[in-house]
Amino acid sequence: MKLLIFAGPPSAGKTAVIRQILRQLAGASTIAFLKIDVVRAFEDEELSKEFGIPARKVYSGDVCPDHTGILVLRDAISWADDLGADILIVESAGLCLRCTPYTSQSLGIVVLSAVGGTNSPLKMAPMIALADIAVVTKVDLVSQAEKEVFRERVREVAPRVDIIETNAVHGTGLRFLMKAIQSVPEISSPDEIVLRGMPPLAVCTICAGKKEIGWQHHFGILKTLDGADDLYRGE
């Protein structure tokens, strides 16, 4: 079974890209889908209805959705394996631009929208840097100049990432994504899958429900306005 991990900010078109993959591969291959989101998600129901594929979702609630994704990924692989799936697609919530949910033995795909502005790849650097492929969507909506500059900005962040421009609604240009999916190796040893990079730290006292503003009221790893370095303060 192959593992595809999708990340990307909200409304970038992750599901539109996944839909194109399903349009081409569902039927010939068994594809299982897992959506990770925070409070509500509908992608699993929509895709399951449209393509008749096994699909499910996990809500992270008050926990970082990417951490949740990592915690449930091993279970998800077993679930998809038991179904006899050829491909497991995992779609992240796409909330935090610091996300890096990609693992070893997978194809990591970041979906970015050209509409986000030419500087957006610089803002999402961690999410792009460890991906194998950057799919840039909505290229039909922006000028040629912005299209070219967007590509340069992605290159700046990740010189080796494979960039694929598309109008995902029509599925233009996705042949290179399909080729990459074809050639990605299957999971060889699921128990040895590890994250490619460190996810952002998600344990702070705000996470745990303390609502006061100002670092003076919190402990753990903290930030002050002056001196942007982290500081550690125990309770």
Partner 1 sequence: MNDRNHRTKDPLPVATITILPGKARDGTRENFDEITIRAGDTISIVGPTGSGKTAFINDIEVFACHDTVTGRSILVNAQVPPDEMVRDPARKPIALITQNTKCLADLTVQEFLEMHVKARRIPDTHRTAETIALANEFTGEKITGEMRMTALSGGQTRALLIADAVSVSNTPLILLDEVESGGIFKENVIASLKRNNKAVLFVTHDPLLALLSDRRIVMKNGAVEKILEPKEREKETLARISEMDGFLSLMREKIRAGDLLDREVPVP
Residue 5's DSSP bridge partners are: 90, 108
- Residue 193 is a binding residue for partner 1 (CB under 8 A): no
Which CB atom, from 45 or from 152, has the smaller least distance to partner 1? 152
Work out which of 81, 173, 196, 199 binds partner 1, going by CB under 8 A. Answer: 173
Work out which of 38, 115, 193, 222 binds partner 1, going by CB under 8 A. Answer: 115
Candidates 216, 228, 30, 1; CA nearest to 107 is 1
Could you say which residues in the range 134-163 bind partner 1, by CB under 8 A?
A: 139-149, 151-152, 155, 159, 163
Q: What is the DSSP letter of 58?
A: E
- Residue 167 is a binding residue for partner 1 (CB under 8 A): yes
Q: Report, in Å, the least distance between residue 78 CB and partner 1.
A: 34
Which CB atom, from 59 or from 176, has the smaller least distance to partner 1? 176
Candidates 87, 82, 84; CA nearest to 34 is 87
Q: How far is CA 68 from CA 59, 118, 198, in A?
A: 8, 31, 14
Dihedral of CA atoms 25, 28, 29, 31 in degrees, nearest 10, equals 60
- By CB under 8 A, name the binding residues for partner 1: 115, 117-118, 139-149, 151-152, 155, 159, 163-165, 167, 170-173, 175-176, 178
